[in-house]
């Protein structure tokens, strides 16, 4: 899967094939162009003759080309076999997402028609076009006996009639952003029997192998036991699959000893709920309960490829949550790494347990500049925000503003949620322990975030991002592909780019 994205990220050797009505020195057999449908049909590209431009714009007007994302395909225009024109809607100040979506829709339409070498108009936004080009082509078919008909891979490149080094660099950046999210999609989509904790650690180590400034450490149960990570161990003990604790250091700053930023990803590779068993309906989706781990790994790939000048320490606790004779039971009490005792009232509230130890570990050992954890933590977040926003709980306004800005820049948005001590009241009323692992029914996402805050040094800026709602995309629409979403990988890269 990764090799496909990497092949797409390299530039195709240009072919000399100068067309009559298009400047087409690269020899594309197909083009994706954008056009504003309001106030009138107006092509955005400048690399086209006035005659051809007027011909196409007249055709668009005649075809009721009005709404954003409307797509029209024209054939044998100016020596180009197929030209897909996609509406950007009304002209706006920030059009990156319109370009991202239009590029994706145009490429998907052309590939259905057998396009082999497609040029994409980058007149409006180069990076957005590149992201759309890569994200729109994601598929996971390697396990199918009857794959789609084998055919020559479609190559997509920027439509640049003249040499433009800056545009080429921006295109490569967009491809890295897209490929990073596709890595997260691939990890989340893989069946849990083929993406166990051990296999996840091996896959991520393989993906990051050879990248500069990366150091990977994979720890087993003996190491976790010596660290007294009993909250993590309690979740893992119900499964026959061995746990793993993945620690990855990226040192891109000039000063390798500079304090790092911390990233923590929830890595439950399958969540049955344990003894508190989930309903069987849609339980198969719980292969994606390692979405936090997947997005953190995908972001780290992009950060390393872009050689961003920051230091990062990433920790990912990996295990399954299964029912068995060895599984932790409701009513059991365990002691976490920080010394707090926790009464288990619901074994399906397991993500916060493995994150508790991971957060204390990175917080106490590295004292990072900030810590961000990502987790498909609560169904309540899906109810609250659906598939639009990922919910952010944070102890610092500045960190929220940075996340908000990063999410908006790449159209992978966040919404701030309340972090308040009153949500913890029910969880601090246990008769036998310092904390219980669930509170009341109301405000479930808020109480879960409050639980995690107990394990982070209050002096450290921290944000918890609950991605349960955005874990899955329910339908394919342009660069949004049905299935596991890989969000918010691009927003994490953007955040670190701005540090």
Q: What is the pLDDT of residues 237-255, one digit of tens each?
A: 999 999 999 999 999 999 9
Decide: helix, strand or coil at residue 218: strand
pLDDT (average), residues 173-188 = 98
Structure tokens at 138: 């994601």
Confidence of residue 1 (pLDDT cuts 50, 70, 90): very low
Q: pLDDT value at position 107? A: 97
The pLDDT of residue 87 is 95
Tell me the pLDDT band of 180, cut-offs 50, 70 and 90: very high
Strands (E), 134-231: 155-159, 214-219
- The 10s digit of each residue's pLDDT in 386-397 is 999 999 999 999
pLDDT at 452 exceeding the cut of 70:
yes
Active-site positions? 278, 352
Residue 237's CB is within 10 A of a number of other CB atoms, namely 17
The three-class DSSP label of residue 263 is strand
- How far is 290 from 283, CA to CA, in rounded Å? 14
Q: What are the tens digits of pLDDT across the range 298-333?
A: 999 999 999 999 999 999 999 999 999 999 999 999
For 78, 312, 399, the CA distances from 362, given in Å and listed in that order, are 59, 11, 18
CB 45 within 8 A of CB 123: yes
Q: What pLDDT is recorded for position 154?
A: 83
- Give me the chain's average pLDDT, please: 93
Distant-in-sequence, close-in-space partners of 52: CB < 8 Å, separation ≥ 6: 21, 22, 77, 78
- Least Cα distance to 423 among 487, 339, 352, 493 occurs for 352
Pick the range with the lowest mean pLDDT from 6-10, 115-119, 122-126, 457-461: 6-10
pLDDT of residue 21: 62
Cα four-point dihedral sign 437, 237, 354, 385: negative
pLDDT in the model for residue 11: 40
CB 320 within 8 A of CB 239: yes
Mind listing the pLDDT tens digit for each residue in 8-64?
444 444 443 333 466 677 889 999 999 998 778 889 988 888 888 888 999 999 998
The model's pTM: 0.93
Please answer whether residues 128 and 102 qualify as being in contact, where contact means their C-beta atoms are separated by less than 8 angstroms. no
> Are the CB atoms for 285 and 472 separated by under 8 Å?
yes
pLDDT tier, 152 (very low <50, low <70, confident <90, very high otherwise): low
* Radius of gyration of the CA atoms of the chain, in A: 24
- What is the reported pLDDT for 149? 52
- Sorting pLDDT into bands at 50, 70 and 90, what band is 148? low
């Amino acid at each position: 899967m990764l090799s496909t994205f990497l092949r797409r990220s390299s530039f195709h050797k240009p072919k000399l094939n100068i067309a009559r009505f298009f400047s087409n020195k690269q020899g594309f057999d197909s083009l994706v162009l954008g056009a504003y449908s309001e106030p009138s049909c107006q092509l955005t590209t400048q690399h086209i003759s006035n005659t051809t431009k007027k011909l196409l714009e007249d055709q668009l007007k005649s075809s009721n080309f009005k709404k954003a994302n409307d797509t029209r395909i024209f054939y044998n225009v100016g020596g180009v076999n197929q030209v897909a024109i996609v509406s950007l809607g009304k002209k706006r100040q920030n059009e990156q997402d319109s370009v991202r979506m239009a590029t994706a829709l145009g490429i998907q339409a052309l590939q259905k028609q057998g396009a082999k070498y497609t040029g994409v108009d980058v007149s409006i936004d180069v990076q957005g076009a590149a992201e759309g080009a890569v994200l729109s082509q994601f598929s996971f078919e390697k396990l199918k006996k009857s794959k789609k008909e084998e055919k020559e891979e479609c190559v997509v490149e920027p439509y640049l009639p003249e040499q433009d080094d800056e545009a080429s660099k921006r295109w490569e950046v967009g491809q890295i952003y897209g490929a990073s999210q596709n890595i997260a999609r691939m990890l989340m989509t893989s069946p849990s029997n083929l993406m166990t904790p051990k296999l996840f650690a091996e896959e991520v180590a393989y993906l990051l192998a050879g990248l500069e400034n990366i150091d990977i450490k994979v720890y087993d149960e003996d190491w976790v036991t010596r660290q007294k990570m009993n909250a993590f161990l309690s979740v893992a003990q119900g499964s026959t699959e061995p746990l793993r604790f993945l620690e990855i250091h990226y040192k891109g700053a000039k000063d390798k000893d500079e304090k790092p930023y911390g990233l923590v990803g929830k890595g439950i590779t399958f969540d049955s709920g344990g003894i508190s068993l989930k309903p069987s309906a849609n339980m198969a989706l719980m292969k994606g309960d390692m979405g936090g781990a997947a997005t953190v790994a995908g972001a780290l790939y992009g950060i390393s490829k872009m050689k961003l000048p920051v230091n990062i320490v990433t920790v990912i606790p990996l295990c399954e949550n299964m029912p068995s004779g060895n599984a932790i039971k409701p009513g059991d009490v365990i002691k976490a790494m920080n010394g707090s005792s926790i009464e288990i009232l619901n074994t399906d509230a397991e993500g916060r347990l493995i994150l508790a130890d991971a957060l204390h570990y990175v917080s106490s050992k590295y004292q990072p500049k900030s810590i961000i954890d990502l987790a498909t933590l609560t169904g309540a977040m899906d109810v609250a925000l659906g598939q639009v926003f990922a919910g952010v709980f944070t102890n610092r306004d500045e960190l929220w503003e940075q996340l908000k800005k990063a999410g908006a820049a790449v159209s992978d948005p966040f919404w701030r949620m309340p972090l308040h001590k009153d949500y913890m009241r029910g969880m601090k009323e246990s008769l036998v322990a310092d904390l219980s692992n669930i509170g009341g029914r109301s405000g479930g996402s808020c109480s879960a975030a409050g639980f995690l805050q107990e394990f982070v040094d209050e002096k450290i800026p921290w944000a918890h991002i609950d991605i349960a709602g955005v874990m899955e995309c329910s339908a394919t629409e342009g660069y949004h592909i049905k299935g596991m979403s890989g969000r918010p990988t691009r927003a994490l890269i953007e955040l670190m780019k701005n540090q």
